[in-house]
Amino acid sequence: MKEQQATSGISVAEGNGKFTGMPGPGTAEEARVFKMLQAGFKDQFEKAFPDKLAPKTVVIIPSLTLDQEILSKVRGVVHYEERLLCMLMLLRMPRTHVVYVTSTTIDPVIVDYYLHLLPGITGYHARQRLTLLSCYDASSRSLTEKILERPRLIERIRKCILHGHSAHIAAFNVTSYERTLAVHLGIPIFGCDPDLLDLGNKSNSRKIFRECGLPMAPGSEDLRTTGDIVHALTKLKLQNPGLRKAVVKINDGFSGEGNALFSYDGMDVGHEEKWIENELKKKLKMVAEDLSCKLFLLKFEQMGGVVEAFIEGETKESPSVQCRIDPDGTCHVASTHDQMLGGEGGQVFLGAWFPAQSGYAVPIGLMGEKIAESLKQKGVLGRFSVDFISVKEKEEWRHYAIEINLRKGGTTHPLLMLQFLTNGTYQTEKGLYCTANGQVRYYFSSDNLKSEKYKGLTPHDLIDIAMMNDLHYDGTHHEGVIFHLIGALSQFGKLGVICIGSSAERAQMYHDQIISVLEKVGSQS
pLDDT tens digits for range 248-257: 999 987 655 7
In this predicted structure, which of 280-289, 371-380, 389-398 has the lowest mean pLDDT? 280-289
The one-character DSSP state at 146 is H
In the chain the first and final C-alpha atoms are separated, in Å, by: 57
Average pLDDT value for residue range 202-213: 97
Interatomic CA distance for residues 410 and 387, integer angstroms: 12
121-125: long-range contacts, CB 8 A cutoff, minimum separation 24:
121/91, 121/92, 121/94, 125/94
Q: Which distant-in-sequence residues (6+ apart) come within 8 Å of 36 by Cβ?
A: 8
The one-character DSSP state at 386 is E
Contact 211, 373 (CB under 8 A): no
pTM: 0.88
Picking from 335, 472, 346, 345, the residue whose alpha carbon sits closest to that of residue 414 is: 335
Interatomic CA distance for residues 380 and 191, integer angstroms: 8
The one-character DSSP state at 121 is S
Angle separating helix axes 108-115 and 459-468, nearest 10 degrees: 40
Average pLDDT value for residue range 299-303: 92
What pLDDT does 65 receive? 83
What pLDDT does 340 receive? 87
Q: What DSSP assignment string belongs to 431-484? A: TEEE-TTS-B-EEEEEEEEE-GGGTT--HHHHHHHHHHTT-SEETTTTEEEEEE
Average pLDDT value for residue range 328-337: 96
pLDDT at 3 exceeding the cut of 90: no
Picking from 295, 283, 286, 274, the residue whose alpha carbon sits closest to that of residue 230 is: 274
What pLDDT does 351 receive? 87
Picking from 409, 419, 411, 403, the residue whose alpha carbon sits closest to that of residue 368 is: 403
Q: Summarize pLDDT for 14-42 with one digit per residue, the tens.
A: 333 445 578 999 899 999 999 999 999 99
CB-based burial label for 329 (10 Å; 0-12, 13-18, 19+): exposed
Give the type of residue at 254. F
H-helix or E-strand spanning residue 334? strand 331-342
Interatomic CA distance for residues 33 and 97, integer angstroms: 25
pLDDT at 514 exceeding the cut of 60: yes
Distances from the Cα of 80 to the Cα of 85, 144, 182, angstroms: 10, 14, 22
pLDDT at 243 exceeding the cut of 50: yes
pLDDT at 345 exceeding the cut of 60: no
Neighbours of 31 (CB within 10 A): 17
Q: Summarize pLDDT for 418-466 with one digit per residue, the tens.
A: 999 999 999 999 999 999 999 999 999 998 899 999 999 999 999 999 9
The one-character DSSP state at 216 is B
Average pLDDT value for residue range 328-336: 96
Q: Which distant-in-sequence residues (6+ apart) come within 8 Å of 160 by Cβ?
A: 57, 59, 97, 99, 131, 133
Interatomic CA distance for residues 514 and 525, integer angstroms: 16
Picking from 340, 318, 321, the residue whose alpha carbon sits closest to that of residue 391 is: 318
| Percent of the chain topping pLDDT 70 | 93
What pLDDT does 304 receive? 95
Q: Summarize pLDDT for 282-298 with one digit per residue, the tens.
A: 999 988 777 889 999 99
Distances from the Cα of 168 to the Cα of 57, 130, 209, 362, angstroms: 7, 15, 31, 33
Q: Summarize pLDDT for 125-168 with one digit per residue, the tens.
A: 999 999 999 999 998 899 999 999 999 999 999 999 999 999 99
Cis peptide before 62 (omega within 30 of 0): no
Q: Summarize pLDDT for 257-287 with one digit per residue, the tens.
A: 789 999 999 988 889 999 999 999 999 998 8
In this predicted structure, which of 78-92, 277-291, 489-503 has the lowest mean pLDDT? 277-291
What pLDDT does 51 receive? 95
pLDDT at 229 exceeding the cut of 90: yes
What pLDDT does 9 receive? 36
Interatomic CA distance for residues 513 and 43, integer angstroms: 47
pLDDT level of residue 75 (50, 70, 90 thresholds): confident
Kindly provide the residue ranges of all beta strands, DSSP E only, lying in 27-161, ordered along the sequence.
56-61, 96-102, 130-134
Average pLDDT value for residue range 92-119: 96
Strand, helix or coil for residue 118: coil
Torsion angle of the four alpha carbons 65, 66, 69, 73, in this order, in degrees rounded to the nearest 10:
-100
